[in-house]
Protein backbone atom coordinates (compact mmCIF):
# COMPACT_ATOMS: atom_id res chain seq x y z
CA UNK A 1 0.00 0.00 0.00
CA UNK A 2 1.02 3.59 -0.54
CA UNK A 3 2.32 5.61 2.42
CA UNK A 4 0.04 7.07 5.06
CA UNK A 5 1.62 10.20 6.58
CA UNK A 6 0.23 12.19 9.51
CA UNK A 7 1.12 15.61 10.91
CA UNK A 8 0.89 16.42 14.61
CA UNK A 9 1.75 19.13 17.09
CA UNK A 10 0.08 21.74 19.25
CA UNK A 11 -1.52 24.85 17.76
CA UNK A 12 0.85 27.45 16.32
CA UNK A 13 3.76 25.16 15.37
CA UNK A 14 3.22 25.55 11.62
CA UNK A 15 1.72 22.12 11.06
CA UNK A 16 -0.69 23.21 8.32
CA UNK A 17 2.14 24.96 6.43
CA UNK A 18 4.17 21.74 6.43
CA UNK A 19 1.15 19.74 5.25
CA UNK A 20 0.68 22.11 2.30
CA UNK A 21 4.37 22.08 1.43
CA UNK A 22 4.44 18.29 1.54
CA UNK A 23 1.48 18.09 -0.83
CA UNK A 24 3.28 20.41 -3.27
CA UNK A 25 6.43 18.31 -2.97
CA UNK A 26 4.49 15.16 -3.94
CA UNK A 27 2.70 16.94 -6.78
CA UNK A 28 6.07 18.01 -8.21
CA UNK A 29 7.18 14.39 -8.16
CA UNK A 30 3.95 13.38 -9.95
CA UNK A 31 2.82 11.34 -6.97
CA UNK A 32 -0.93 11.00 -6.47
CA UNK A 33 -1.96 12.06 -2.99
CA UNK A 34 -5.03 12.79 -0.91
CA UNK A 35 -4.76 15.74 1.46
CA UNK A 36 -7.14 15.42 4.38
CA UNK A 37 -7.59 16.36 8.04
CA UNK A 38 -9.02 15.34 11.39
CA UNK A 39 -11.44 15.77 12.90
CA UNK A 40 -13.09 15.85 9.48
CA UNK A 41 -12.17 14.64 6.02
CA UNK A 42 -15.63 13.44 4.96
CA UNK A 43 -18.85 15.50 4.72
CA UNK A 44 -20.29 13.88 7.85
CA UNK A 45 -17.01 14.04 9.79
CA UNK A 46 -16.67 17.73 8.86
CA UNK A 47 -20.03 18.31 10.53
CA UNK A 48 -18.71 16.60 13.65
CA UNK A 49 -15.63 18.85 13.42
CA UNK A 50 -17.80 21.96 13.43
CA UNK A 51 -19.59 20.74 16.57
CA UNK A 52 -16.31 19.77 18.26
CA UNK A 53 -14.54 23.07 17.62
CA UNK A 54 -17.47 25.35 18.42
CA UNK A 55 -18.06 26.89 21.83
CA UNK A 56 -21.16 25.63 23.65
CA UNK A 57 -23.02 26.92 26.68
CA UNK A 58 -23.30 23.34 27.91
CA UNK A 59 -20.17 21.71 29.37
CA UNK A 60 -18.79 19.19 26.90
CA UNK A 61 -17.60 16.09 28.75
CA UNK A 62 -14.18 14.68 27.87
CA UNK A 63 -15.97 11.37 27.20
CA UNK A 64 -18.33 13.04 24.70
CA UNK A 65 -15.45 14.81 22.98
CA UNK A 66 -13.49 11.56 22.74
CA UNK A 67 -16.38 9.57 21.31
CA UNK A 68 -17.10 12.23 18.69
CA UNK A 69 -13.42 12.38 17.67
CA UNK A 70 -13.49 8.63 17.10
CA UNK A 71 -16.88 8.73 15.38
CA UNK A 72 -15.40 11.19 12.89
CA UNK A 73 -12.28 9.01 12.58
CA UNK A 74 -14.26 5.84 11.81
CA UNK A 75 -15.98 7.64 8.90
CA UNK A 76 -12.70 9.11 7.72
CA UNK A 77 -10.80 5.82 7.75
CA UNK A 78 -13.53 3.82 6.02
CA UNK A 79 -14.55 6.40 3.43
CA UNK A 80 -11.33 8.26 2.63
CA UNK A 81 -8.09 6.86 4.08
CA UNK A 82 -8.50 3.15 3.31
CA UNK A 83 -9.97 3.60 -0.18
CA UNK A 84 -7.16 6.04 -1.09
CA UNK A 85 -4.40 3.75 0.11
CA UNK A 86 -5.99 0.80 -1.67
CA UNK A 87 -6.18 2.84 -4.88
CA UNK A 88 -2.45 3.63 -4.76
CA UNK A 89 -2.85 7.18 -3.53
CA UNK A 90 -0.66 8.59 -0.75
CA UNK A 91 -2.57 9.96 2.23
CA UNK A 92 -1.48 13.10 4.07
CA UNK A 93 -3.60 13.72 7.15
CA UNK A 94 -3.43 16.88 9.23
CA UNK A 95 -3.78 15.04 12.59
CA UNK A 96 -4.89 11.48 13.41
CA UNK A 97 -5.14 9.16 16.41
CA UNK A 98 -1.99 10.45 18.16
CA UNK A 99 -3.97 13.66 18.68
CA UNK A 100 -6.63 11.78 20.63
CA UNK A 101 -4.00 10.35 22.99
CA UNK A 102 -2.40 13.77 23.39
CA UNK A 103 -5.49 16.02 23.63
CA UNK A 104 -8.19 13.78 25.10
CA UNK A 105 -5.83 11.50 27.04
CA UNK A 106 -3.09 13.78 28.37
CA UNK A 107 -4.98 17.05 27.94
CA UNK A 108 -8.43 16.12 29.25
CA UNK A 109 -7.47 13.14 31.42
CA UNK A 110 -9.41 10.44 29.57
CA UNK A 111 -8.20 6.92 30.41
CA UNK A 112 -5.52 5.97 27.85
CA UNK A 113 -6.79 2.37 27.83
CA UNK A 114 -10.20 3.58 26.65
CA UNK A 115 -8.54 5.60 23.86
CA UNK A 116 -6.44 2.59 22.89
CA UNK A 117 -9.60 0.52 22.68
CA UNK A 118 -11.44 3.12 20.59
CA UNK A 119 -8.45 3.37 18.28
CA UNK A 120 -8.59 -0.36 17.61
CA UNK A 121 -12.35 -0.16 17.12
CA UNK A 122 -12.38 2.77 14.70
CA UNK A 123 -9.24 2.72 12.61
CA UNK A 124 -9.50 -0.76 11.10
CA UNK A 125 -5.76 -1.42 11.30
CA UNK A 126 -4.91 1.86 9.59
CA UNK A 127 -1.67 3.02 11.24
CA UNK A 128 0.52 5.81 9.82
CA UNK A 129 3.81 4.84 8.19
CA UNK A 130 5.28 8.19 9.14
CA UNK A 131 4.21 10.89 11.60
CA UNK A 132 5.75 14.35 11.60
CA UNK A 133 5.65 15.92 15.04
CA UNK A 134 6.42 19.64 15.11
CA UNK A 135 7.55 20.93 18.49
CA UNK A 136 8.19 24.41 19.87
CA UNK A 137 8.22 26.06 23.29
CA UNK A 138 4.54 26.07 24.25
CA UNK A 139 4.38 29.78 25.09
CA UNK A 140 5.85 30.69 21.70
CA UNK A 141 3.49 28.41 19.78
CA UNK A 142 0.45 29.76 21.60
CA UNK A 143 1.54 33.32 20.95
CA UNK A 144 1.52 32.49 17.23
CA UNK A 145 -1.81 30.63 17.39
CA UNK A 146 -3.54 33.38 19.32
CA UNK A 147 -2.90 35.84 16.51
CA UNK A 148 -5.83 34.15 14.73
CA UNK A 149 -9.02 36.19 14.72
CA UNK A 150 -11.36 33.80 16.53
CA UNK A 151 -10.14 31.09 18.88
CA UNK A 152 -11.93 27.73 18.73
CA UNK A 153 -12.77 25.59 21.79
CA UNK A 154 -9.31 23.94 21.84
CA UNK A 155 -7.31 27.09 21.09
CA UNK A 156 -8.99 28.70 24.10
CA UNK A 157 -7.30 26.26 26.53
CA UNK A 158 -4.58 27.39 28.93
CA UNK A 159 -0.82 26.92 28.63
CA UNK A 160 -0.74 23.98 31.08
CA UNK A 161 -3.14 22.05 28.84
CA UNK A 162 -0.84 22.39 25.83
CA UNK A 163 2.22 21.53 27.96
CA UNK A 164 0.55 18.20 28.79
CA UNK A 165 -0.41 17.67 25.14
CA UNK A 166 3.08 18.37 23.78
CA UNK A 167 4.79 16.31 26.52
CA UNK A 168 2.61 13.37 25.63
CA UNK A 169 3.29 13.70 21.92
CA UNK A 170 7.01 13.61 22.73
CA UNK A 171 6.56 10.52 24.92
CA UNK A 172 4.78 8.76 22.08
CA UNK A 173 7.52 9.77 19.65
CA UNK A 174 10.18 8.37 22.00
CA UNK A 175 8.32 5.04 22.13
CA UNK A 176 8.03 4.79 18.33
CA UNK A 177 11.14 6.42 16.85
CA UNK A 178 10.70 4.45 13.62
CA UNK A 179 7.34 6.03 12.87
CA UNK A 180 7.85 9.53 14.29
CA UNK A 181 10.00 12.27 12.86
CA UNK A 182 10.24 15.06 15.45
CA UNK A 183 11.06 18.46 13.98
CA UNK A 184 12.03 21.64 15.82
CA UNK A 185 9.39 24.13 14.65
CA UNK A 186 11.56 27.10 15.58
CA UNK A 187 13.88 26.32 12.67
CA UNK A 188 13.56 28.26 9.43
CA UNK A 189 10.62 27.10 7.30
CA UNK A 190 12.98 25.88 4.56
CA UNK A 191 14.93 23.79 7.10
CA UNK A 192 11.76 22.26 8.55
CA UNK A 193 10.70 21.26 5.05
CA UNK A 194 14.15 19.94 4.10
CA UNK A 195 14.16 17.66 7.17
CA UNK A 196 10.66 16.40 6.36
CA UNK A 197 11.34 15.75 2.67
CA UNK A 198 14.59 13.99 3.50
CA UNK A 199 12.80 11.70 5.93
CA UNK A 200 10.21 10.86 3.28
CA UNK A 201 12.94 9.38 1.07
CA UNK A 202 13.02 6.37 3.42
CA UNK A 203 9.35 5.51 2.80
For ligand TYD, the binding residues (CB under 6 A) are 11, 16, 38-39, 53, 69, 94-95, 99-100, 103-104, 152, 154
Which residue, 152 or 163, is less far from ligand TYD as judged by CB? 152
What is the smallest separation between the CB atom of 175 and ligand TYD, expressed in angstroms?
A: 18
What is the smallest separation between the CB atom of 202 and ligand TYD, expressed in angstroms?
A: 25
38, 72 in Cβ contact below 8 A? Answer: yes
What is the smallest separation between the CB atom of 28 and ligand TYD, expressed in angstroms?
A: 24
What is the smallest separation between the CB atom of 30 and ligand TYD, expressed in angstroms?
A: 27
Which residue, 19 or 26, is less far from ligand TYD as judged by CB? 19
Q: How far apart are CA 177 and CA 120, in angstroms?
A: 21
Q: How far apart are CA 25 and CA 34, in angstroms?
A: 13
The upper half-sphere exposure of residue 180, i.e. CA atoms within 13 Å in the direction of its Cβ, equals: 20
Q: How far apart are CA 124 and CA 120, in angstroms?
A: 7
Sign of the C-alpha dihedral computed for residues 107, 111, 114 and 120 taken in this order: positive
Amino acid sequence: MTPFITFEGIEGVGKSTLVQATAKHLAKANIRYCLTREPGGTPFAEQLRAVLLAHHDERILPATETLLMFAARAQHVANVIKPSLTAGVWVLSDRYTDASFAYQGAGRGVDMAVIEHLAGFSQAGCVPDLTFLLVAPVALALQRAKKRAVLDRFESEQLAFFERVQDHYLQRAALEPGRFCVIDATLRLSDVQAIAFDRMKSL
